[in-house]
């Protein structure tokens, strides 16, 4: 199987939004790197917020119609046809380049994310083993990273966690690695369910992690009235608003609600919609994470 590859350069401050856009239109992989810069991509270093100019490379199925992708890049992000390089690459070439682009990521001094083919850093005391796959969430995107960093900076010992929109399962798995006693992960995408179960087994937390589809999760929360110490939802802002009844029903009194997938201009919408809670705000580039407790 071959792949359609699009490559282009854009200002770093909008590259995260462009990545989100490409993934929403079924890009199978999006990678980024700085242009004319020696900066290392260390998401745990607060002084490196973004690159001035970023090159994005996106891969699509060889049979996919890319007209909607081009329209968005032109009309939303201001690119022209000459700004975008297009080529067809063979599957073997894609795998080699894609795998080489992933390196261990430091979340904080304790927690690292490490692909299975990489050596574990000597300083890492807690490691999430995670390979890139079909489900969103490898730790490189600011929304995922903000959630991981917030979880890592708070005590999770003996606490229970619900991960809504789990993707690869990285947040639920990370919470268990950091001391949570039990976690439930749920997603509407069957690929995410499969990826989360596989990643839980790889990280040896499958006994502590229950993975449910959306219908099963609703039964657990609305019928069985199960509640959690921490509820995490790293999805889009509109979806967070729509899922408010479920998220608040699942949250124990004095529990913690962690919301992400929010662009900075959308934060007021979320704060208004979840006015029952008092939030602390965390930001990376144009992305926001909100950690709240019920008033």
Name the 3-class secondary structure at 279.
strand
The burial of 101, by beta-carbon neighbours within 10 Å (0-12 exposed, 13-18 middle, 19 or more buried), is given as middle
Q: Residue ranges of the domains in the chain?
A: 2-100, 137-294
On whether the CB atoms of residues 264 and 283 are closer than 8 A, the answer is yes
Name the token pair of 150. Answer: 């917030």
pLDDT in tens, the chain (295 residues): 788 999 999 998 898 899 989 999 999 888 887 776 444 444 444 333 457 788 999 999 999 999 999 999 999 999 999 999 999 887 665 556 656 666 778 888 888 888 877 777 777 788 898 876 554 566 668 889 899 999 999 999 999 999 999 999 999 999 999 999 999 999 998 988 999 999 999 999 999 999 999 999 999 999 999 999 999 999 989 999 999 999 999 999 999 999 999 999 999 999 999 999 999 999 988 889 999 998 6
Contacts of residue 126, defined as CB under 8 A and 6 or more positions apart, other chains included, come to 110, 111, 112, 177, 178
Class of domain 2-100: alpha beta
pTM of the model: 0.70
Task: Map 138-185 to HEC letters.
Answer: CCCCHHHHHHHHHHHCCCCCCCEEEEECCCCCHHHHHHHHCCCCEEEE
Q: Which CATH number fits domain 137-294: 3.30.70.100, 1.50.10.20, 1.10.150.20, 3.40.50.150?
A: 3.40.50.150
């Amino acid at each position: 199987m071959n792949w359609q590859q699009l490559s282009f350069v854009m200002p770093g401050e909008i590259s995260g939004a462009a990545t989100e856009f490409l993934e929403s239109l079924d890009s199978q992989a999006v990678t980024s790197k700085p242009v004319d810069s020696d900066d290392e991509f260390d998401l745990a270093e607060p002084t490196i917020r973004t690159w001035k100019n970023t090159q994005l490379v996106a891969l699509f199925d060889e049979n996919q119609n890319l007209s909607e992708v081009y329209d968005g890049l032109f009309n939303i992000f201001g690119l022209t046809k000459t700004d975008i390089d297009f080529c067809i690459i063979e599957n073997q070439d894609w795998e080699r380049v894609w795998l080489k682009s992933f390196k261990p990521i430091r979340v904080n001094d304790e927690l690292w994310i490490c692909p299975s083919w990489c050596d574990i850093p000597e300083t890492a005391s807690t490691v999430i083993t995670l390979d890139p796959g079909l489900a969103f969430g490898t730790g490189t995107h600011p929304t995922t990273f903000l959630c991981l960093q917030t979880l890592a900076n708070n005590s999770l010992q003996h606490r229970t966690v619900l991960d809504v929109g789990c993707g690869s399962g990285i947040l639920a798995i990370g919470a268990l690695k950091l001391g949570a006693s039990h976690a439930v992960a749920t997603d509407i995408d069957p690929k995410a369910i499969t990826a989360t179960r596989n990643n839980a087994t790889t990280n040896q937390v499958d006994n502590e992690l229950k993975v449910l589809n959306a219908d099963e999760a609703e039964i657990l929360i609305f019928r069985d009235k199960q509640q959690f110490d921490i509820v995490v939802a790293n999805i889009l802002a509109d979806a967070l608003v729509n899922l408010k009844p479920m998220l608040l029903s699942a949250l124990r009194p004095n529990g913690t609600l962690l919301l992400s997938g929010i662009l900075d201009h959308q934060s007021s919408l979320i704060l208004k919609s979840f006015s029952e809670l008092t939030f602390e705000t965390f930001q990376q580039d144009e992305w926001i994470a909100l950690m709240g407790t019920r008033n």
